[in-house]
Amino acid sequence: MNKLIPGCVLREDVYVKTASPVMKRKTVLTDDHIYILEKFLVEDVEVFQKLANGQVFNPAGGIKEEQDDTPNDEDDQATIEKDSFLDRYLTAVQSYKKHFKNWQAGAKIEAYDVRKIFLPLYEREPNKYELMQLLALSTKQEYTYHHAVAVSIFSYLIGKAEGLKSGEVIQLGLSGLLSDCGMAKLPFSVSSKTGSLTAEEYDEIKKHPIYGYRMLESVPGFSKNALLGVLQHHEREDGSGYPLQVKRDKLHPFAKIIAIADTYHAMTSERPYRSAKSPYHVMDELLMDGFGKLDHHLIHKLIPMLTDLSIGDRVVLNNDMAGEVVFLNQERPTKPVVRLDNDKQIDLIKERDVHIEYLVSNASS
């Protein structure tokens, strides 16, 4: 077990004396997943020979790998199935990275190139499992590129849930994808930061929506709505955002949607200068702490796409205690009542500092 590394992908479901797996096949392992396996005293798991990023995994030992020499189509595929949504996601990330570096070098944005990145994602809608896996695939070093693609995905999904027409949804997705394109014009690289931003650096970062807007305003193929989404995605309902401190009645719907997608992915991802938070914790923070800053109607469009809690689910809390979900709170779906393994019940709504860290197994599996 000590040979596992983040990025390993499970070949088979993992069971621990239960009818349901504690971890499903094709889970991309993070440090948190590895910790859970150790906590449940799992000694051996089967993993693919390739990591999620396509690199070959060559442990010195301790991991059970396929020994059969019979050709196996699955072994010949990338760890993430070819042309699956996650495969398209990883392709989009690498394509965005290439273009972002070109923009840093002075190249202009071309609408055709951006649509070529986005449309394959739009054509294959992800399920809840795949959306959760996006967070595991993102890395601290590649955060800038993963963030752009993930924000695009979450944005267009919220737009669809809101009932926007297909043409608007596509423009929204493109706007989300390019919301941080202005970062390419910063005088320093955010991705290379290892500590907190200085006040001067933060002031410079707050200009990136304006830089992005200027990069796009003369490029055919992007609607005015898309440009406003880029310009306003860091504005807030109460006027506390940037760069122009626009308030609720002046905010474009695209900007309101992208703001939620941007905040959710940023808070749930490991960044060069900030650690990741649990998705369940972040969703509840959006509901509670985002009041007055983010559009609550739109937050409620996002949460059902991501939550997959049911009565009977096994969960681990951030205080390392484990238990079973026994009651779901409709208003705050990520804060259920949990019966702990010591038979005590805890209502997470009443415990502000306690939240779900991991979903260990799903009752419907």
Q: Which residues pair with 28 in a beta bridge?
A: 9
User: What pLDDT, on a 0 to 100 scale, did the predictor assign at position 272?
Assistant: 73
pLDDT band at 264 (very low <50, low <70, confident <90, very high): very high
pLDDT at 337 exceeding the cut of 90: yes
Q: How many whole angstroms separate alpha carbon 132 and alpha carbon 305?
A: 10
Select from 306, 304, 309, 299 the least CA-distant residue to 263: 299
User: What pLDDT, on a 0 to 100 scale, did the predictor assign at position 274?
Assistant: 77
**Residue 78 or residue 187, greater confidence:** 187
Residue with tokens 């898309």: 226
Mean residue pLDDT of the chain comes to 86
Instruction: Please count the CA atoms within 13 angstroms of the CA of 273 that sit on its side-chain side.
Output: 13
User: What pLDDT, on a 0 to 100 scale, did the predictor assign at position 190?
Assistant: 75
**Residue 275 or residue 353, greater confidence:** 353
User: What pLDDT, on a 0 to 100 scale, did the predictor assign at position 133?
Assistant: 83
Q: How many whole angstroms separate alpha carbon 331 and alpha carbon 191?
A: 37
C-alpha R_g of the chain: 21
Q: Please state the rounded mean pLDDT for residues 155-171.
A: 97
User: What pLDDT, on a 0 to 100 scale, did the predictor assign at position 68?
Assistant: 37
How does DSSP assign 206-273, residue by residue?
A: TTHHHHHHHHHTT-TT--HHHHHHHHHTT--TTS-SSSS---GGG--HHHHHHHHHHHHHHHTS-BTT
Q: How many whole angstroms separate alpha carbon 150 and alpha carbon 129?
A: 14
User: What pLDDT, on a 0 to 100 scale, did the predictor assign at position 357?
Assistant: 87
Q: What percent of the chain has pLDDT over 90?
A: 54
**Residue 74 or residue 238, greater confidence:** 238
pLDDT at 289 exceeding the cut of 80: no
Quick one: DSSP state of residue 81? P
User: What pLDDT, on a 0 to 100 scale, did the predictor assign at position 80?
Assistant: 64
pLDDT at 73 exceeding the cut of 70: no
pLDDT at 62 exceeding the cut of 50: no
User: What pLDDT, on a 0 to 100 scale, did the predictor assign at position 72?
Assistant: 43
Neighbours of 242 (CB within 10 A): 18
Q: How many whole angstroms separate alpha carbon 16 and alpha carbon 90?
A: 31
Quick one: DSSP state of residue 38? H
| Tens of pLDDT, residues 245-261 | 999 999 999 999 999 99
Q: How many whole angstroms separate alpha carbon 168 and alpha carbon 156?
A: 9
Neighbours of 205 (CB within 10 A): 18
User: What pLDDT, on a 0 to 100 scale, did the predictor assign at position 363?
Assistant: 63
- In the three-class reduction of DSSP (H, G, I as helix; E, B as strand; rest coil), residue 102 is classed as helix
pLDDT at 64 exceeding the cut of 70: no
Q: Which residues pair with 50 in a beta bridge?
A: 56
**256, 294 Cβ separation under 8 angstroms:** yes
Select from 300, 294, 284 the least CA-distant residue to 241: 294
Quick one: DSSP state of residue 184? G
pLDDT at 174 exceeding the cut of 90: yes
| Tens of pLDDT, residues 25-53 | 778 888 778 877 887 788 888 888 777 77
User: What pLDDT, on a 0 to 100 scale, did the predictor assign at position 93?
Assistant: 94
pLDDT band at 71 (very low <50, low <70, confident <90, very high): very low
pLDDT at 192 exceeding the cut of 90: no
Rounding to the nearest 10 degrees, give the CA dihedral for residues 116, 6, 9, 119. Answer: -10
Q: How many whole angstroms separate alpha carbon 243 and alpha carbon 231?
A: 8
Q: Please state the rounded mean pLDDT for residues 260-275.
A: 88
Q: Which residues pair with 274 in a beta bridge?
A: 271
pLDDT band at 364 (very low <50, low <70, confident <90, very high): low
Q: Please state the rounded mean pLDDT for residues 173-183.
A: 98
| Tens of pLDDT, residues 211-223 | 999 999 999 999 9
pLDDT band at 320 (very low <50, low <70, confident <90, very high): confident
**Residue 352 or residue 118, greater confidence:** 118
Q: How many whole angstroms separate alpha carbon 175 and alpha carbon 274?
A: 25
